[in-house]
Amino acid sequence: MLLWVGLGNPGDKYAGNRHNIGFMAIDAIGDTHGFTPEKSKFKGLIREGSISVDGRPIKVLLLKPQTFMNESGRSVQQAMQFYKIPIDKVTVFHDELDLAPGKLRMKTGGGIAGHNGLRSIRQHVGEDFHRARLGIGHPGQKNKVHGYVLSDFAKSEKVWVEDYIDALARAADRLADGAHDKYQTEVDRLAPPPGAKSRRNG
């Protein structure tokens, strides 16, 4: 079984925040691939299902910690322990300031660039989990970061955000197959980042 974790803050107040793009990705994956309805478990909300890879179903557990960002690791640790999921089967979807909006980059381990959700997960389960870094861009000044990530995407960003989230879900079979480079490539093909020369529907 694979464990895919989306990071965000619980509650309607935060639902549209840039910081919650991990939640948005997990919701889209579950909806697109017909996962079970959400239920409360492991201090979070989970959905269970499978994603077909070359005709074989790969079991995936989707998790959205409901502990607030800086305690996300407690939820992830409980799910991993219950299902005996090793760290190399865990992928965390999170907002990434250091990537242009609409860019996806996969990474395993390494620095956390001050992200409180990643810090908590690293403290509880170690650092060698996979990361789907979801580009949201940077406000330009360090003192503006807090307000930027906790504000909603602008109306002018709606098209690329929706396309991006949809692409993350539609290409999920590549991720389920462990083909991280192919996942990046397919997401970029389905939803080229804003400013790319063309936006193909694929």
- How many helices and strands, by DSSP H and E, does the chain display? 7, 7
Assign residue 103 a region (left: φ > 0; alpha: ψ between -120 and 50; beta: otherwise): beta
Pair 19, 9: CB distance under 8 Å: yes
**Rounded Cα distance, 174 and 177, in Å:** 5
Give the other-Cβ count within 10 Å of 127's Cβ. Answer: 16
Among 142, 136, 157, residue whose Cα is nearest residue 94: 136
Q: Which residues are catalytic?
A: 19
User: Token pair for residue 93?
Assistant: 């979807």
State the amino acid at position 35 in one-letter form. Answer: F
**Burial level of 19, CB count in 10 A (0-12/13-18/19+)?**
buried
Q: What is the DSSP letter of 17?
A: B
